Structure 1
């Protein structure tokens, strides 16, 4: 087998590796119901995801009647998180081709990482419930390094590289948070068009865009 050009491949979670919009929709609608707001269809919640739960909730409140006072927002945010933690992997699953893609990278000796803006404990729980934890050498969350260090800052990707012990790396994501972090960290980024894109896939600033996970390994080979 021809040598693979990357020793490490990092993945975003929501909208990249995992289609989590159903469970996130239930959580955000739980918070909206507490505030007496109408539910948002799960398909529309896809457009609100990216940047963490606070940003998702803020967008949902704007759509359903406007912002609330900070203290109330904090209460609703905590309710959302509690509901989500208790129902984190009811509908969530790998995107099509994800398992085969992960197998293919592992067969090539690639170290796999998760770097997400989701809280670390949530990311760890979701992969544990899906039986995927052992596939990754590290799972890094938006709070792993403390406040203000999440994507699009490069800090979490720098931590991935530090924990990997070195080597060539690439990152895979679905939003400008991901492409921005990769660019700031000096890593090539592949964007998935099937995720929760906050811009048209071609406008995300990625080095390559794929429409299915069976395209990822060839795309990384071309980038290398």
Structure 2
């Protein structure tokens, strides 16, 4: 591929660009310990990631016995404090992700991050990993206010606007990502190596990649499909 497939390519963060499961699991287990629960493994926590920290904690607490709202708020504050303090201890980009970003930049594609993670946490993580300068913008689950996180199309539309407009595609690993892309009218690529809750085929993506080596040809194919008006209804 030598031509620019899309003007903009957006990426989810957790489970798509970066494997954050180790640090998220550690933070979850701080909250679970305060609740007197046994710790969970990263394999158990991974399917609960994607809807933001509050959603993740609620799922983990429900799975281990539940709790009342007052206790939940206390455990949530513990989780956030623990995660912020150790946000990049174990987290690393998925294999091939950085090379893919380099290739996109070389083609003149603008790249961005749209995540349901708090914007401040996303920026801190990307700073720690030395990736922040690669992205034209980072939009978090709280950036646009309540009700405007994925699966709302609002953050993807904001991404397109902040990146200067033009054609766009989105890469993610969750139903929130695929729905946001569908709602925003842009093609969605699912990564099969992400934090999946079930078969990747069930996400309803326009394309699935098993590694980042497949991203470029997939974007090329989707660009041709969408430019001829053959996109999904």
- Normalization by structure 1: what TM-score? 0.98
Corresponding residue of 1:43: 43
Partner SS, residue 45 of structure 2: helix
Match of residue 28 from structure 2: 28
> Residue 111 of structure 2 corresponds to which residue in structure 1?
112
CA drift at 1:87: 0.2
Give the superposition deviation at 1:148: 1.1
Q: What secondary structure is seen at the aligned counterpart in 2 of 1:10? A: strand
| C-alpha distance in structure 2 between counterparts of 1:81 and 1:222, whole Å | 40
Aligned to 1:103, what secondary structure does the other structure show? helix
- The residue correspondences of 1:21-170 to structure 2 (distance < 5 A) are 21-65=21-65, 67-170=66-169
Gaps of 5+ in 2: 224-233
RMSD over aligned CA atoms reads 0.9
Q: Could you list the structure 1 runs, at least 4 aligned residues long, displaced by more than 3 angstroms after superposition.
A: none
- What are structure 1's unaligned runs of at least 5 residues? none
Residue 62 of structure 1 deviates from its aligned partner by 1.5
Size of the aligned set, in residue pairs, is 223
Aligned-partner Cα distance in 2 for 1:107–1:138: 18
Instruction: Report deviation, 1:69.
Output: 1.2
**What is the DSSP-based 3-state SS (H/G/I as helix, E as strand, rest coil) of the residue aligned with 1:73?**
helix
Answer yes or no: is the 8 Å Cα contact 1:114–1:139 preserved in 2.
yes
